[in-house]
Amino acid sequence: MALRNPEIKYTKLFINNEFVDAASGRTFPVINPSTEEVICAVAEAGVEDVDKAVLAASNAFSPTSPWRTMGASERAQLMNKLCELMRRDECYLASLDTLDNGKPYTESLCDLDYSIKTLQYYAGWCDKIHGHTIPCDGGYMCLTRREAVGVVGQIIPWNYPVMMLAWKWGPALAVGCTIVLKPAELTPISSLYIGALVKEAGFPPGVINIVPGMGNVAGHAIANHLNIDKVAFTGSTAVGRKVMQAASLSNLKRLTMELGGKSPVVVCEDCGNLDEAVELCHSAVFSNHGQNCCAGSRTFVHESIYEDFVKRSVRLAQERVVGDPFDEKTLQGPQVSQTQMERILGYIEKGKSEGATLECGGSRLGNKGYFIQPTVFSNVTDDMTIAKEEIFGPVQAILKYSTMDEVIDRSNKTEYGLASGILTTDINKALTFAQAVRAGSVWVNCYDMCLPQTPFGGYKQSGHGRELGEEGLAEYLETKTITIKVPHSSL
């Protein structure tokens, strides 16, 4: 059951299994985006705090530490225990995310369920990571070991606070890394509570450390730290460039980056049930208030069904319930911050000024909270800003196309390549599109079907590496080759 005013139990940094104040004593406010009121003040990590967290993680990764000498199956037991505690407290955790993120409580609950399943999936991998023996010429034996990369820094965004934590922690813990996590400054409170569950579950001190703070201070310190072996970052492409530069100029640490997207969804003339196609495309862009890196934010519709598709899309957007995220009828809460709201409204103005047809929405909803009307544009062309740049808000841009070759070419004319989708009853069209589109995920007659066991990541400027699935483990592993000279037998 949702807790409209959940008690905020933890607001300090979590380092070495203890909650501590920032060295500077500084705090920052966390804002409720529905009311614009301050929820609480959270300790603001600085460089010194990141150093302390990295030291704790380094000590926890030392060869004789309890974490490094722990059996793989015991590591899995700890992960599963954490999942049990998260399940026990899922209503409370979901309420925290709804409070500081603004997403509907029902969506927060779904996020929690998915996050737990992700951690459980990776717990199952703990004792299944192994190397190989390799035949050698002469009197040699060769084998490989798959070993944890070491101390990892993880920087997560505000759009899926618990889910992004699970995506990052799952593979890192499964292989035996230790962690310094920086949650987004807009949504840190659920991460800190999970820190308390980490201690309750029995994880050794230093294995997981949580340092909320500003990106240009705490995030920068993580990306530049000489004793962090790998950074996993999810966020904008612009910030991803800074993280990559910092990693290269410090110690050439390894990177996994899941960045922005401008993903196409192609609706063919033979899509089948048009109402279902309209609803799927609506969910692809409006889910999570449009604050989704793989949102289907370019809706390409075949010219033969375009006008009808637009009319039905407008009707669906107008029916979308926007309001109190704790109300079970609400489908869309506020945007996460005033900055995000103003940014989205700026894109809407660009859409209008550049000649797109505003079919519905287009304005702020009310004068309290960061609510935006669900917005639909038609007659959008590829050269318009709303068709090229990531809006990250509840704005659907509907474009018209004529042929499959044309729409494939237009789908690929973007600096991004995170996701894509096609709706068709023709398997040949589906396969042609799936092979030709340059995107990390292709969804056929569905969208945003991310599962713990399926790799996720992007082409081009949508990032490097993959998360989830078996491939997600590889990003946290080193391969060590051991070659042994075997003495000749005297027998």
Written as one string, the DSSP assignment of 466-483 is: -BSHHHHHHTTEEEEEEE
Q: Within this chain, do residues 244 and 279 fall inside the same structural domain, yes or no?
A: no
Q: What is the mean pLDDT of residues 314-330?
A: 97
Q: Give me 135's structure tokens.
A: 């035949």
Distance, in Å, from the CA atom of 234 to the CA atom of 156, rounded to the nearest integer, reads: 5
Parent domain of 80: 13-259+458-479
Mean pLDDT of 174-184: 98
The residue ranges of DSSP E strands in 68-126, in sequence order, are none
**pLDDT beyond 90 at 219:** yes
Taking residues 430-452, what's their average pLDDT? 97
Tell me if 175 sits within 8 A of 76, measured CB to CB.
no
* Res. 167: pLDDT tops 80: yes
Q: How confident is the model at residue 441 (pLDDT cuts 50, 70, 90)?
A: very high
| E strand or H helix at 28 | strand 27-32
**CATH number of the domain enclosing 126:** 3.40.605.10
Residues 202 and 332 in one domain: no
Choosing from 258, 359, 467, 475, the catalytic residue is: 258
pLDDT of 491 higher than 60: no
Average pLDDT of the chain is: 97
The verdict on 31 and 91 lying in the same domain is yes
CATH number of the domain within which 270 lies: 3.40.309.10
The verdict on residue 97 lying in a domain is yes
Looking at residue 322, the DSSP 8-state letter turns out to be B
Q: Which residue has the tokens 């399940």?
A: 87
**178 and 282 both lie in a single domain:** no
For residue 124, being part of any structural domain is answered with: yes
Q: How many CA atoms lie within 13 A of 469 on its CB side?
A: 10
> pTM here?
0.96
Residue 7: inside a domain, yes or no? no
Query: What count of residues does the chain have?
Result: 491
Q: Of 147, 153, 145, which Cα lies nearest the Cα of 253? A: 153
Same domain, 237 and 304: no
pLDDT at 293: 94
Q: Is residue 241 predicted with pLDDT exceeding 60?
A: yes
| Domain shared by 288 and 305, yes or no | yes
Q: Hey, how many other C-beta atoms are within 10 angstroms of the C-beta on 157?
A: 20
What pLDDT score was predicted for residue 21?
A: 98
Give the total number of structural domains in the chain: 2
Task: Compute the distance between CA of residue 39 and CA of residue 359 in angstroms, rounded to an integer.
Answer: 36
Domain presence at residue 5: no
2 belongs to a structural domain: no
Cα 406 from Cα 303, distance rounded (Å)? 12
pLDDT of residue 490: 60
In degrees to the nearest 10, what's the CA dihedral of 319, 94, 92, 15?
Answer: -150
* Mean pLDDT, residues 53-69 taken together: 98
On whether residue 1 sits in a domain, the answer given is no
Given pLDDT bands bounded at 50, 70 and 90, which one contains residue 139? confident
**475 plus 342 within the same structural domain:** no
Six-digit token string for 308 = 């009808």
Domain membership of residue 451 (yes or no) is no
pLDDT at 208 over 60: yes
For the residues 432-438, what does the mean pLDDT come to?
A: 98
Q: Distance between CA atoms of 179 and 133, rounded to whole angstroms?
A: 30
Nearest-CA neighbor of 304 among 270, 280, 349, 328? 270
Q: What pLDDT shows up at residue 182?
A: 98
278 and 215 fall within a common domain? no
Taking the C-alpha atoms of residue 371 and residue 323, their distance in angstroms, rounded to an integer, is 7
Alpha-carbon gap, residue 423 to 436, rounded angstroms: 15
Instruction: Mark whether 142 and 222 lie in a shared domain.
Output: yes
Residues with Cβ < 8 Å from 307, sequence gap 6 or more? none
Residues 6+ apart with CB under 8 A from 112: 86, 90, 93, 94, 97, 162
Q: For position 399, what pLDDT does the model report?
A: 98
What pLDDT is recorded for position 137? 83
- Render the burial of 439-477: b for 16+ CB within 10 Å, e for the rest: bbbbbbeebbebebeebbbbbbbbbbbbbbbeebbbbbb
Q: In the prediction, which pLDDT does 487 show?
A: 83
Q: In the predicted model, what is the mean pLDDT of residues 60-69? A: 98
* Amino acid 228: pLDDT: 98
pLDDT band at 138 (very low <50, low <70, confident <90, very high): confident
**What is the helix (H) or strand (E) element at residue 306, kind and residue range?**
helix 306-319
Kindly provide the b/e burial profile for residues 269-293, where b requires at least 16 CB atoms within 10 angstroms of the residue's own CB.
eebeebeebbebbbbbbbbbbbbbb
pLDDT at position 2, please?
86
Q: Are residues 83 and 190 part of one domain?
A: yes
Q: How far apart are the first and last CA of the chain?
A: 74
Which among 28, 205, 170, 171 has a CA at the least distance from the CA of 100?
28
Q: Is residue 489 predicted with pLDDT exceeding 70?
A: no
| One-letter amino acid for residue 63 of the chain | P
- pLDDT value of residue 39: 98
Place of tokens 């946290």: 476
Is 147 in the same domain as 211?
yes
pLDDT value, residue 488: 76
Distance (Å, whole) CA 231 – CA 151:
9
Of residues 488 and 308, the one with the higher pLDDT is 308
pLDDT band at 365 (very low <50, low <70, confident <90, very high): very high
Residue 258: active-site member: yes
Residues 268 and 133 both lie in one domain? no
**Helix pair 161-175, 189-201: axis angle to 10 deg:** 30
Q: Does residue 8 lie within any of the structural domains?
A: no
